[in-house]
């Protein structure tokens, strides 16, 4: 029997902007360059003895594909949103997989990377389907929005910045490919899964069917980390730590928070719904359900955070 110590399993949630950053044109070269930076950090974690697996967002990429659909709808039938999510899973997974494999080869690491097209079961009765709240894609004028509404798109004004297409964002319930992902994790194959929160599907008339909507990638990452019995759930974003009173003179960083404190801060409105709220909520849920811990930090501080030198640690 092997006496080799089992490596701690870390599920890392990367934002879609880790590959496509604000101000960039969004070329595939931009995304490869950004992915290379992210993969160098992932390699550091692996070299430090962690069994690392990646979940990623797809906001910028899904918005771009959706916009292509809208602009070409007169000549090419647009795909539904579940198919758009699957397209971006393949695109982003390919870029991460290739850049990560290249980094392995450069560093003499004998590992394989596998991208899994991942379906996420949601409830057809989820209250989210009564109110499309998740904005996707670019901003439109009111006149443009009215024309898009004629084509069946739900349009909502977004904080005075213009009108955007909105869709449903249901809660993830079950990852259909979780057993396959767990098998790869147990064999230390680095997985890239649950892209864009997973492809939303429902069970209907005895069949699994895709449904319009997008799933929050942090909530999907929490579910994956729980289902595969991960030791640590890490959310990588664009700030080193969580802050209370963000945007105020009283702004202060939080190095550690308990689940109870996290839930209190969420209720008090310290974290914006469109940014840090689902991250803190998902991290706290993982800790509560597994009795382990979670970390929220920036990409470049990932290893420091695991060593207790950066980030916000969420504990029981």
The catalytic position among 7, 17, 111, 138 is 17
Where would I find the H helices in the chain?
28-47, 59-71, 81-106, 142-150, 178-186, 217-227, 259-267, 276-290, 302-306
Q: Is 273 exposed, middle or buried (0-12, 13-18, 19+ CB in 10 A)?
A: exposed
The catalytic position among 44, 134, 292, 313 is 134
- 301 given a catalytic annotation: no
- 6 given a catalytic annotation: no
The catalytic position among 16, 57, 213, 221 is 16
The catalytic position among 182, 279, 292, 313 is 279
- 251 given a catalytic annotation: no
**Strands ordered across the beta sheet of 155-157:** 134-140, 163-167, 155-157
How many C-beta atoms surround the C-beta of residue 159 within 10 A? 8
Which H helix or E strand runs over 254? strand 252-254
- 16 given a catalytic annotation: yes
The catalytic position among 217, 292, 301, 313 is 217
What is the dihedral angle through the alpha carbons of 117, 29, 112, 173, rounded to the nearest 10 degrees? Answer: -30
Positions annotated as catalytic residues are 16-17, 134, 217, 279
């Amino acid at each position: 029997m092997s006496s080799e110590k089992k490596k701690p399993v870390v599920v890392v949630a990367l934002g879609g902007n880790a590959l496509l950053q604000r101000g960039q044109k969004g070329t595939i070269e931009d995304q490869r360059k950004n992915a290379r930076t992210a993969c160098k950090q992932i390699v550091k974690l692996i070299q430090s003895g962690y069994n690392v697996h990646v979940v990623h967002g797809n906001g910028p990429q899904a918005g771009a594909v959706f916009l292509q659909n809208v602009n070409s709808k007169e000549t090419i039938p647009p795909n539904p949103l579940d198919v758009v999510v699957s397209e971006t899973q393949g695109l982003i997974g390919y870029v991460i997989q290739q850049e990560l494999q290249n980094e392995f080869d450069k560093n003499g690491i004998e590992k394989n990377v596998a991208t899994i097209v991942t379906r996420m079961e949601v409830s057809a009765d989820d209250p989210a389907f009564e109110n499309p709240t998740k904005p996707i894609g670019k901003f439109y004028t009111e006149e443009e929005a009215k024309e898009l509404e004629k084509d069946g798109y739900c349009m909502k004004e977004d904080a005075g910045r213009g009108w955007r297409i909105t869709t449903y964002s249901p809660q993830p319930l079950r990852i259909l490919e979780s057993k396959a992902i767990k098998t790869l994790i147990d064999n230390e194959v680095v997985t890239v899964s649950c892209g864009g929160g997973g492809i939303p599907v429902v069970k209907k008339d005895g069949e699994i069917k895709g449904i319009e909507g997008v799933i929050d990638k942090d909530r999907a990452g929490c579910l994956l980390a729980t289902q595969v019995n991960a030791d640590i759930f890490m959310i990588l974003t664009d700030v080193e730590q969580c802050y209370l009173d963000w945007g105020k003179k009283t702004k202060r960083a939080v190095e550690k928070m308990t689940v109870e404190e996290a839930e209190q801060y969420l209720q008090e409105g310290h974290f914006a719904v469109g940014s840090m709220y689902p991250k803190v909520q998902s991290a706290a849920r993982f800790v509560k359900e597994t009795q382990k811990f979670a970390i929220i930090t920036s990409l470049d501080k990932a290893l420091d955070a695991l060593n207790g030198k950066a980030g916000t640690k969420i504990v029981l």
